[in-house]
Amino acid sequence: MRFGKTLSDSVYPPWKDKYLEYDKIKKLLREDETSPQGRGGEANWTEQDEETFVHELTVTQLEKVNQHQVDTFSSIRDRAAACESELPDPEKEDTGKSEDEWKDVARDMLKELDGISKDLNELRKFSRVNYTGFLKAAKKHDRKRGLKYHVRPILQVRLAQTPFNSEDYAPLLYRLSAMYTWARQKLGEESANKETDTDIKPKDTYTAHKYWVHADNLLEVKTYLLRRLPVLVYNPQDVKVVDSSQKDPSLTSIYFDNHSFDLYQSKVEKTEAGLSVRLRWTGHLTDKPEIVLEKKFVGENEESNDIRIQIKEKYINSFLKGEYKMEKQIQKLEDRLGPDHDEVKNLKANVDEIQSFIKDKQLEPVLRASYTRTAFQIPGDDRIRVSLDTDLTFIREDALDPDRPCRDPDDWHRSDIDKNEMDYPYSAIKKGEISRFPHAILEIKVKDTKYTRNNAWLHDLMNSHLVKEEKRFSKFVHGVAELFEDYVNSFPFWLSDLETDIRRDPVTAYQEEQEREQKKAEDEMAVGSFLAGSKLSSPRHKVGSPGKYSERRLSGQISQSVQSRSRLRDSQLQSTAEEPDSDDDGVQGTEQVDVRDSSQGGIRSFLPAFSNSRYARRHRQRNAWDNAPLPPGVKEPSFWIKDQGDLKVEAKVWLANQRTFIKWQHVAILLATLSLSLYNAAGVNNNIARIISVVYTVFAIFAAVWGWGIYMWRSKLITERSGKDFDAVIGPFVVSIGLAVALVLNFAFKYRAAVADNREDNSTALFMGQGQMNNGLWVQEL
C-alpha cells in the first residue's frame, strides 16, 4: 500500500485540515517529471523551486502539525485537570454531597474520561502518521533531486526543534488510570480492597531503561560503571573459570517477519500485542555455538512471555519448514525424565507453538543484528543489570526480491557472512544492505526493590549528560526502518534524533533534570491528596527517586557477592526476567545467593580490620575499589564534574560536625578535671594515685587533640564534597580501652596495697602479744 493511501485512511475527520498535505508536497516536487538522470528533470528544477519546497515542508506543514499537537494535548490536559477537580477532598469529612450525587459525578466522569482517552489515542496516531509522512516526503525529494539538494538533514533539525512526535503520555495516562479506578469503585464495579483479598504474591519485575551513548562519552560511561559494578565475564566453556583475557562476546540475532512486516507494524504502532521471533547465538557460527530460537509475546500490561528452545544449526532449515519437530531432543529428555514429566510436555508445547506461529504468519529471516556486549553485574545479585552494546550493525537477511535476494531462499542465513567469519565493520557487505548504528546502546534493568529505588549513583548516571534516553528503542524496529523503508509505512520516532548531536552540556543536563523532577512532582500531585493512601496503582509501575541515599548502600553487598562467585552454576548463562520489547538478551545473572558467615561476633565486631560485619566489609571493599588499578589508557580525573557548581551544604551537616567536636572537648575537660583532683588529693607519698592522675591527663590531651583533628578533617571532606565515610573509630577505641585499663590497674594497685597493710598490722599485733607473754613469765619466775 502506498503511503498516500495509508495517510488518507488514517485521517481523523475532526482534524482532517491539520494533517500533512502529502499530495501538495508531491505536486511541488513534480513527481510526475522524469528522474534527475533523465532528459531534463533536473534542469527544470530551479533554486526557487527548491526554496518553495523546503519552506512548505519544513516550515508551513511542520508548524501546522506541531501547533495542532501542542494545542490538542494542552486541551486534553485541561480536561483531565477539570475531572480531577471533581474528586472529593479526603481531608474534609463532610463533602456536602450524598452517595447518589457522587455516583452521578462518577458516571459523568467516566464518559468524559472515555472521550479523553479516545482523543489521546487519536493524537498518538496523528503524531505517528504525520511523522512518517515528513520522512517519506524528504526521502522522495532526496531520491529525485539528490544530485544537487538534500532536504532530510534540514528536516531532522526542524523535527528536533518542533518535537511534536516526542510527547510523553505516561504521566497523563497514570492520572487517567487513577480517576478511572475511583469512578469504578464509586459505582461498585471494582472493589477498593481487591488487592488485599488475594494471596498471590507479585513476582520480581524489572524496569528497563534504554539510552544512547555517544562515542566520545563511551569510555567515561564504562569507567563510571566499573567503579560500581564488576564486568560479568562470559566464558562459554565453564562459568567457574574466570579468563581475564576473554573478550566481550559478539552477539548475533536474526529476526523474522513476513512480506507485509506485520510483526514490525505491531511493535511500532502498538495496535496489538507485540510479537517477535528470532534466532540468537554468541560468537562465530563456525565455532558451533548454542543457537536459541525464541518467540516473545508482550501483552497490554507490558509483561513479556518468552518461549525458547535450543536447536542445532543442521536442523534449523527443516524445523522452519515444519519437517523436523525436535524428535531427538524430546526422545533424550523422555529417556532421562520420563514421558510424563512437565519439562518434556513444555518442550513439546513450545515446539508446536513456535512452528505453528511461523507457519501461520509465513515468517522468514529478514534482518540480522550484530553487536558486541559488555555486561556489568554483581555475581549473585541481579537487582541491577547493565549491558553496553557497541559496534551495532544491521544487515539485510531477506529474500524479498527474487531477482537479487540477499540470502539464499532455501537457507536460513547468509552464508557469505558466517562462512567467511566476517566481523565489524563488515566492509564486504553492499552499501544498501547494511546500516551501522552510530552510538552505543546502554540498557539498565532494575528490579523494583527498596535498594534500587534509593540508589544515588544510578540516578546520577541516568540523568547525566553522558547518556540520552530512548525509552522505546528496539533493535528489530530500528533495523527494519533503516533498511526496509520502502516496504513499511510507519517509522519509530527516534529516527529524527540520529541526525542531531546527542552530546549535551553538563549544566544544561542538570537543569533539564531539575525541570523533569519538578514536572513529575506536579503530575503526581495533580490528583490531589485523595490518592495518598490508596492502592490504586501497582507497585511495579512506580519509579522511585534513587537520590535519597548515598551510593554506600551498594558497596556493602559487593564482598558478599564476591564470596558467592565460586558457587555460581551453569545457570548463570540462562536469561532471567526481561523488560517488554527487549531485543538484547545475553549473559544474565542468577538469583541472589544468601551467604552468611557464622564467624561474626566477639571482639571481631569492634575491629573493622578483622570483622566480617556489614560495616567492616563495606570499608574493606571501598578501600579495595579505591586502590584498584585503572584500566589501560584511563587517568584518574583531577576534578569531578559534580564538584564544579556552587557549594551548597545543609546547616545540619556543619552543626553535626561542630556538635561532635564539642562532645570531644567535653570529654577532655572531664578527664583533665578528674586527673587534677586526683593529683591534688593524692599527697606526696601516694605515688600510685599521682601516676594514675598523669595517665588521665595524657588521655585528656589525646581526646582534645583527636576531637580537633577529626573536626578539621570532616570539615575538609564536607567542603570537597567527598564521598568518603566520615567514620573515625580509632579515637573512641583508644580512649575507652585506655580508661578501662587505667581503672583496672588502679584497682589492682589499691588492692595490693590494702593486702600489704593488712599483713603488716597482723605482724605488729603478733609481736606485741608475744612480748606480753614473755613479761608475764618473767614476773612469775621472780
* Domain boundaries along the sequence of the chain: 3-197, 206-527+544-573, 602-643, 651-781
* CA–CA gap between residue 771 and residue 280 (Å, rounded): 112
> Which stretch of DSSP H or E encloses residue 782?
none
Q: What is the distance, to the nearest Å, from the Cα of residue 168 to the centroid of all Cα atoms in its chain?
A: 19
Is residue 295's pLDDT more than 80?
Answer: yes
Q: Looking at the predicted structure, is the pLDDT value of residue 544 above 70?
A: no
The DSSP secondary-structure symbol of 314 reads G
Q: What is the pLDDT of residue 171?
A: 76
Q: 628: helix, coil or strand?
A: coil
- What gap in Å lies between CA 461 and CA 482, rounded to an integer? 29
Residue 240 pLDDT > 60, yes or no?
no
For residue 530, pLDDT beyond 50 = no
Residue 566 Cα distances to 262, 557, 569, 600, angstroms: 46, 16, 8, 21
Is residue 336's pLDDT more than 70?
A: yes
Whole-number Å distance between alpha carbons of 134 and 62: 8
Task: Kindly report which listed range (137-146, 327-336, 579-588) carries the lowest average pLDDT score.
Answer: 579-588
Position of cell 472521550? 115
Q: What is the pLDDT of residues 726-749, one digit of tens each?
A: 777 788 888 888 788 878 887 887
618 pLDDT above the threshold of 60:
no
Give SS3 for 396.
strand
DSSP letters along 216-274, please?
A: GGHHHHHHHHHTTS-B----SS-TTS--TTPPPPEEEEEEEE-TT-HHHHHHHH--S-E
Q: Map 742-775 to HEC letters.
A: HHHHHHHHHHHHHHHHHHHHHHHHHHHHHHHHHH
pLDDT in tens, 210-226: 999 988 888 888 888 88
Rounded to whole angstroms, how far apart are CA atoms 739 and 728? 19
State the DSSP code for 674: H
What is the average per-residue pLDDT within 691-716? 86
Residue 573 has pLDDT above 70, yes or no: no
Residues 474-516 have pLDDT tens digits of 899 999 999 998 888 888 888 878 877 888 888 888 888 788 7
Placement of cell 490504586 in the chain: 536
Quote the pLDDT of residue 700: 87
pLDDT score recorded for residue 441: 94
Strand partners, 89: none
Q: Contact 372/283 with Cβ under 8 angstroms?
A: no
Q: Shortest CA distance to 30 belongs to which of 19, 20, 43?
A: 43
User: Among the listed ranges 56-65, 460-469, 569-578, 750-759, which one has the minimum average pLDDT value?
Assistant: 569-578
Work out the number of other CB atoms within 10 angstroms of the CB of residue 229.
20
> Are 565 and 471 in contact, with CB atoms under 8 Å apart?
no
Q: If you average pLDDT over residues 643-668, what whole number do you get?
A: 79
Q: What is the pLDDT of residue 645?
A: 61
Q: Is the pTM of this model over 0.85?
A: no
The pLDDT value recorded for residue 132 is: 85
Residues with Cβ within 8 Å of 132's Cβ and at least 6 positions away in sequence, in order, are 3, 489, 490, 491
Whether 387 shows a pLDDT value over 90: the answer reads yes
Closest CA to 607 of 590, 620, 623, 624: 620
Q: What percent of the chain has pLDDT over 70?
A: 71
Q: Residue 116: name the closest of 162, 171, 63, 77 by CA.
A: 77
Predicted confidence band at 178 (pLDDT cuts at 50, 70, 90)? confident
Comparing 136-150, 412-426, 647-661, the range with the smallest average pLDDT is 647-661
CATH architecture, domain defined by 206-527+544-573 = Alpha-Beta Barrel (3.20)
Q: Match 519448514 to its residue by C-alpha cell.
A: 321
Buried (b) or exposed (e) across 94-131, using 16+ Cβ within 10 A?
Answer: eeeeeeeebeebbeebbebbeebeebbeebeebbbbbb
Please return the burial class of 492, using the count of CB atoms within 10 Å of its CB with bins 0-12, 13-18 and 19+: buried
- 3-state SS, residue 302: coil
Give the Cα separation of 229 and 384 in Å (integer).
Answer: 9
Q: Please give the grid coordinates belonging to residue 279.
A: 534466532
Average pLDDT taken over every residue of the chain: 75
- The predicted pLDDT at position 397 comes to 93
* Greater pLDDT, 600 or 122: 122
Instruction: Rank 246-260, 292-306, 382-396, 504-518 by mean pLDDT and report only the highest.
Output: 382-396
Q: Which of 94-108, 284-298, 618-632, 634-648 has the highest mean pLDDT?
A: 284-298
| Helical pair 262-269 and 475-483, crossing angle rounded to 10 deg | 120
pLDDT tens digit sequence for 28-37: 887 666 544 4
d(CA 520, CA 513): 10
Question: Which residue spans within 23-136 are E strands per DSSP?
Answer: none
385, 375 Cβ separation under 8 angstroms: yes
CA 487 to chain centre: 34
Mean pLDDT of 56-66: 90
Name the more confident of 121 and 270.
121
Is residue 44 scored above 80 in pLDDT? no
Length of the chain as a residue count: 782
Q: Which of 289, 471, 482, 474 is nearest to 394 (CA)?
A: 482
Q: Pairing relation of β-strands 274-282 and 291-298?
A: antiparallel
Phi first, then psi, for residue 375 (nearest 5°) are -105, 140
Q: Per-residue pLDDT for 579 more than 60?
A: no
Interatomic CA distance for residues 411 and 318, integer angstroms: 10
Which set of grid coordinates corresponds to residue 267? Answer: 511493535
Report whether pLDDT(640) > 90: no
CA 630, CA 615: separation in Å to the nearest integer? 25
Question: pLDDT confidence of 319, banded at 50, 70, 90?
Answer: very high
Between strands 384-396 and 364-376, the pairing is antiparallel
Long-range contacts at 301-309 (CB < 8 A, ≥ 24 apart): 302/580, 303/205, 303/580, 304/578, 304/579, 304/580, 304/581, 304/582, 306/575, 306/578, 307/350, 307/353, 307/354, 308/350, 308/575, 309/347, 309/350, 309/351, 309/354
How far is it, in rounded angstroms, from Cα 24 to Cα 4?
11
**Calpha distance 271→167 (Å, rounded):** 18
φ and ψ of 751, to 5 deg? -65, -40
Most distant pair of Cα atoms in the chain: their distance: 169
Give 120's contacts (C-beta < 8 A, 6+ positions apart): 76, 169, 172, 173, 176
